[in-house]
Amino acid sequence: MAKKALVLSVLFLATVPLGWYLSGRLDVIFFDKAWWLLLVATALGAVLGIYSGLTRPREQVKGNKVERHGARGFLSHWGTSIGIFTCLGTGIYMGFLWISPFMENIAGTALPLNLHFTGVALLLFAGFFFAMDYIAMRDWDRLIPNAKDLFHGMLGKYFLRRKWHAETKYASSQKVAALGMGAIGALILITGAFKLAAHVWDISANVWGWMTIIHDIATLLFMAMLAIHLILVVVLKSHWPNLASWITGSVPEDFVEHHHPVWYKEIKDGKPRGYRLFGYKEDR
């Protein structure tokens, strides 16, 4: 699994220097001439995601390890991660809210703008792969939080120090954070679509200006949530095995049994995909 992670990481990282190279060779603004590639990346990610969700096998216990992330998980996670950081870096470089642009003139925007395009394309592909993979799997409880996840699994567990033993594959706090980041990400996507449309159609400067402000504010909120997420993952010792699984692909069986009991029971019982969709529930 570590080899798969390495291969996928190298491939995704290679998109950034590739965008850099093509930007110098073609001498065009990708948003102006190749905007349709973003639609292709979105469609391709969605189709592959649906196929992945319909064909994805259930996790299994192998030896004393449980596979937490396969190649599909690495594709969506590292693809979106590299895309996000590429977009953040280039976006800040070109000017962000009160931060002035680092370029000396308008001509200097070509390279960072094209790298921003590269990050957006990668983010759309991997993001829609993840979203459609999840929808096709029909395991709604895995990522969509409910009231118990919010009040017991997050507020009660971390702020009131109460025990919570109903964790699925993703912890309640992760599901709550994912919902918030997903909502903000959707706002960034929508406002970004308006900014992209300005490269294709005539859009008033007023609309473009407001979309840019909202886009930047939403990005700032996303950065704050991302920073909190990364800090908690590093600081909380109970999250370390899950963090390591993004490199190894697996976690110890005893860790899953103790920290993710609902998920562990699913694995041991061999529950089919989407079984909660038809009314079957766990004993929590």
Domain boundaries, the chain: 2-278
Options 3.30.70.260, 1.20.140.10, 3.20.20.450, 1.20.950.20; which CATH number does 2-278 get?
1.20.950.20
Neighbours of 174 (CB within 10 A): 23
pLDDT of residue 156: 83
Pick the closest to residue 65 from 269, 260, 252 (CA basis).
Answer: 252
Cβ contact 82:19 at 8 Å: no
For helices 71-93 and 2-26, give the axis angle rounded to 10 degrees.
Answer: 40
pLDDT of residue 43: 96
pLDDT of residue 272: 52
Distance set, CA 135 to CA 50, 129, 140, 141, 147 (Å)? 8, 10, 8, 11, 21
Percentages helix, strand, coil for the chain (3-state, rounded to 5) are 75, 5, 25
Ordered per-residue pLDDT tens for the chain, 284 residues: 556 666 666 777 788 888 888 887 778 889 988 899 999 999 999 999 999 888 887 778 888 888 888 888 888 888 899 999 999 999 999 888 888 888 777 667 888 999 999 999 999 999 999 999 988 887 777 788 888 888 888 888 777 778 777 788 888 888 888 889 999 999 999 999 988 888 888 888 888 889 999 999 999 999 999 898 888 888 878 778 888 888 788 889 888 888 888 888 888 887 655 444 434 344 33
Strands (E), 185-239: none
